[in-house]
Amino acid sequence: MRPFLALLLRWALPLLLGAAALAYSAYRFHELQYWDGAVGNWLATLFGIVVGVPVALHIERQRTAAVGRADAEAASASRRSVLTILCTELEAVRSQMLQRLSTVDSVSMEPLRSSSWEAMKASGGLRHISEPTLIEAMSNAYRWISILGGLESSALRAVFGVNVQFPDGQLASVKLLQHAVSFHGPVLTALGAAIAVLHAELGASPPVR
């Protein structure tokens, strides 16, 4: 019942206005001046519809296209910003790794950087990256960074905490450091691959490894 009432109310006013217009036209049916004005108004209305509607639709299409272009440009700029930030961080990590290669007998006090990657994950910035090659390369690089960072952190805790001595005479910190050093190669390889992919996406020349 309610849908019928809603339909009736929706059409009641247009029907009443139409009936009133017809009744008034019938009342002035024999007046030539009335029909001259009515036809003129009708032609003006028809012209407005014929010309105005296509123009309005064209303007709306142009506006929609402009909004779409602006959105695409903003997304492209955000994506480039994210890639640049991550590329800068991975290059900084590679510099840290090169320093570690010259000090393999000691544990670095400076942890490997991954704050930008973590911030992008937390803020949803990684949504701008959808290419499988990019995702795989960066995920692999940060996985190795996490593994090495965990080993170095454990070695530091052993140095400044309970440094257990094993039956072979080696301290826990030494064993952990040796284990961490064995991961330097895989970390550098993963970093080089990720940086090369990022440089390619950013339009820069691939770095020399």
Mean pLDDT on 195-199: 94
Quick one: tokens of 34?
């009335």
pLDDT tier at 128, thresholds 50, 70, 90: confident
Phi (first) and psi of residue 171, to 5 degrees: -85, 155
Find the mean pLDDT for residues 50-54: 69
Whether the pLDDT of residue 29 is over 80: the answer is no
Res 118: pLDDT: 93
Average pLDDT, the chain: 79
Asked if residue 193 has pLDDT above 80, the reply is: yes
Return the number of other C-beta atoms located less than 10 Å from residue 199's C-beta.
16
The predicted pLDDT at position 209 comes to 44
Please report the pLDDT score of residue 168 as a whole number: 72
Q: Most confidently modeled of 22-26, 89-93, 133-137, 153-157?
A: 89-93
Secondary structure (DSSP) of 88-155: HHHHHHHHHHHHHHT-TTS--SSPPP-HHHHHHHHHTGGGG---HHHHHHHHHHHHHHHHHHHHHHHH
**pLDDT above 90 (res 208):** no
SS3 content of the chain, % helix, strand, coil (to 5): 80, 0, 20
Mean pLDDT of 41-66: 73
Instruction: Give the start-to-end residue ranges of the domains of the chain.
Output: 15-202
Confidence of residue 67 (pLDDT cuts 50, 70, 90): confident
Question: Across residues 187-202, what is the average pLDDT?
Answer: 94
**Identity at 175, one-letter amino acid code:** K
Contact yes or no for 111/146 (Cβ under 8 A):
no
In percent, the amount of the chain with pLDDT more than 70 equals 71
What is the band of 205 on the pLDDT scale with cuts at 50, 70, 90? very low
Q: 60-64, 100-104, 177-181, 182-186 — which one is most confidently predicted on average?
A: 182-186
